Amino acid sequence: MKCWKLVFSPTGGTEKAAELLAAGLPGEPETVDLCARDIDFGGVQCGSDDCALIAVPSFGGRAPGLAVNQLRQLHGNGAKAVLLCVYGNRAYEDTLAEMEDAAKEAGFTVIAACAAIAEHSIARAVAAGRPDGADAAVLSGFAGKIAHKLESGNASAPAIPGNRPYKKAGGGMTPLPDETCVRCGVCARECPAGAIDGQDPAKVDGALCIGCMRCEAVCPKKVRHLAPEVTAAVAGMLAKACPDRKEPELFL
């Protein structure tokens, strides 16, 4: 059995949680970066005995459209899929349901799913430090149960929460460089949507930008960001609306 780690993680939180879960699954996984712009996703062919961990963040309670597009191009060929949605302690709503539909469309057999929490990529004070040690313990324990299910040949479908039709997708916010930007071009190269002009990083194609915050996260000079008052307002709103710590949810 070969293992795959198929991850869309613009700012690294989803990747962290995926690593914690993947560590307990059988074998060293082959990783496919669903944020990459230079990969032929249609060329990814899984085998029917393989196991694929598919991880994406929740954006507005939905799977990011770009991630779903990449996911649909893969060839699952009956491989068993473990879905992981990662969110910033508010809610993930229809994210796992949408992932389940896309994974099935790509030919995967979904056998497990999990919703885990990571720092909120718009307002990093929210769920700061997560996934933490307690999350790691839960994810590691769940990986053991998934490994056992795989070993036993049980390919039953878990009961995954979510509505169909999915909730309406929201738009993201676009971080912009301040006047100290040196136009190094890192943000343009790293943007999963190809929305940033390489010559003038202040120019962003609003139709392409998904507001994933990767440009802010990768800026080596830390001069690309949302307006501080916007970040503060989002953090304040989330702290008020979701004051309690959410815990990982597991579906087997």
| C-alpha distances out from residue 75 to 17, 46, 94, 106, 108, Å | 24, 6, 23, 6, 8
Which CB, 88 or 158, lies closer to ligand FMN?
Answer: 88
Q: Is residue 89 involved in binding ligand FMN (CB under 6 A)? A: yes
Among 10, 76, 158, 162, indicate the residue that binds ligand FMN (CB under 6 A). Answer: 10
Please give the DSSP secondary-structure letter assigned to residue 204.
B
| C-alpha distances out from residue 124 to 5, 51, 209, Å | 25, 32, 20
Q: How far is the CB of 130 from ligand FMN (least distance, A)?
A: 8
Q: Encoding tokens for residue 189?
A: 């190269």
195-224: contacts with ligand FMN (CB under 6 A) = 211-213
Among 6, 13, 106, 160, indicate the residue that binds ligand FMN (CB under 6 A). Answer: 13
Q: How far apart are CA 174 and CA 152, in angstroms?
A: 47
**Count of positions on this chain that bind ligand FMN (CB under 6 A):** 27
Which CB, 121 or 231, lies closer to ligand FMN?
Answer: 121
Q: Is residue 174 involved in binding ligand FMN (CB under 6 A)? A: no
Residues 6+ apart with CB under 8 A from 28: 3
Q: How far is the CB of 221 from ligand FMN (least distance, A)?
A: 20
Which residue, among 50, 56, 154, 115, has the nearest Cα to 251 in the 3D structure?
115
- One-letter amino acid for residue 196 of the chain: I
Q: Is residue 251 involved in binding ligand FMN (CB under 6 A)? A: no
Among 59, 108, 142, 251, indicate the residue that binds ligand FMN (CB under 6 A). Answer: 59
List residues binding ligand FMN (CB under 6 A): 9-15, 57-61, 86-91, 118-122, 172, 211-213
